[in-house]
Amino acid sequence: MSKTKKAPVIDPYLPGVGNFGYRVSRYELALDYKVAINRLEGTVTITAVTLASLSSFSLDLSAALRVSKVLVNGKAPKDFRAARDKLNITLAAPLPAGAAFTVTVRYSGSPRPLQTPWGEVGFEELEEGALVAGQPNGASSWFPCDDHPSAKASYHIQISAESPYRVVSNGELVSRKARAGRTTWVYELPEPTSAYLVTLQIGMYETVRIPKSPVPMQAVLPARLKRSFAVDFDKQPQMMQLFTTLFGPYPLSSGYTVVITDDSLEIPLEAQGVSIFGANHCDGSRDSERLIAHEMAHQWFGNSVTVRHWRDIWLHEGFACYAEWLWSEHAGGLSAGDLARRYHRKLTDAPADLLLADPGPADMFDDRVYKRGALTLHVLRCEIGDENFFALLQDWTTRYRHSSVVTDDFLGLAAKYHRSSLRWLWDAWLFSRPVPPLDAP
């Protein structure tokens, strides 16, 4: 009896996600969404290049969506089949290594979130509209793709919906045309972007331009929340000014958009050039200020500089968490040192079973990853000094702009900013489970 050969795994944290044999350079999406009945019809054209000779390949796609047609270089393949959230395509003739090719997929269905160990992820129907919360693997809930963070591409997104609704996606809004009660919105995102960071936000929203920001900034939100927004989000221009000073130039050409949904969200989330908050984060209390800083910082750490493997997620969350502390320090709140001492005490009281450099899939979004990651950066800052620390962060965001990274990339770069070895620091904070003493001031 022959044994079934298991498919190779790209990332053990999400073993069924990602695809071999090709690299996508561009997605062109043409979508039609009917809000009232949650019906999506779409065509996506994918431009890619083979990394090896291919006789078959796959794309990630939710089982909730049905594929009706596939073309490869304009011709029908030998076969295509959908199974286990994959679209498997068998070619009529093999493609040689290094060959450019296009794949066109026509599909439809009622999109729904994927059920994952981290809860529901992806396309979610709202009371009045829809949202996409893509991290870590939710892109496949609404379009066929290579849904791994290391797979970055540019995007052209055309989406039609009923005219009363505003549609927000990534990049620059290049056109908006209304016809027969429906409006077609077209967005262009030239910067290489991971699929999970591509979003779709649909609602009864108004647009508010945010003045006095060094980067073009707008908010999209229900009219009823505009007064609270003016209180809760009024510090965003100052945050942007601080972060562009500390982290380097804002990494996108199209500016920054904040979406406030009419529904409550458990946590806000990041997308490329967009942050999404729930109505519960916009109540006039200012209680979400640290979250506002956190999501903005992800535009540098996570969205532009993105992990190649999910085990290195501290490079996203630890950095964004430390940005919260830097904002607090700048805005006259608790200093980064005060916050480091506070969260060091909390970590010391928590179970010492987390390895920051490889926390495991169950704990990749554990708050200890966020806080221990921020503490690691604070200890590094105190060791190498402010001048070297912030020069390192700017070097990091410049050198790896719109690229994929691993922890060793950061450690190697940090070594250039200190005259002696930092191995003791990395061993204690990244590669050991016990929480080290906090010797930093």
> What's the maximum distance between 2 C-alpha atoms anywhere in the chain?
70
Q: What stretches of 244-292 adopt beta strand conformation (E)?
A: 256-260, 269-271, 274-277
Active-site residue, 250 included: no
Instruction: Give helix 386-399 / helix 407-414 axis angle, nearest 10°.
Output: 140
Phi/psi at 7 (5° precision) = -70, 140
d(CA 318, CA 369): 7
From the candidates 33, 256, 370, 417, give the one annotated as an active-site residue: 370
Active-site residue, 187 included: no
Question: Is 298 annotated for ligand binding?
Answer: yes
The candidate with the shortest Cα–Cα distance to 308, out of 171, 398, 408, is 408
Q: Which tokens hold the place of 397? A: 């965001």
- Cis peptide, bond prior to residue 136, ω within 30 of zero: yes
Question: Is 317 annotated for ligand binding?
Answer: yes
d(CA 360, CA 102): 36
Q: What is the three-class DSSP state of 54?
A: strand
Amino acid in position 296: M
Q: What is the three-class DSSP state of 354?
A: coil
From the candidates 295, 324, 343, 417, give the one annotated as an active-site residue: 295
Question: Is 156 annotated for ligand binding?
Answer: no
Q: Which residues are 260's β-sheet partners? A: 277
The binding site consists of 294, 298, 317
Which residues are annotated as part of the binding site for Zn(2+)?
A: 294, 298, 317
Q: Which residues are catalytic?
A: 295, 370
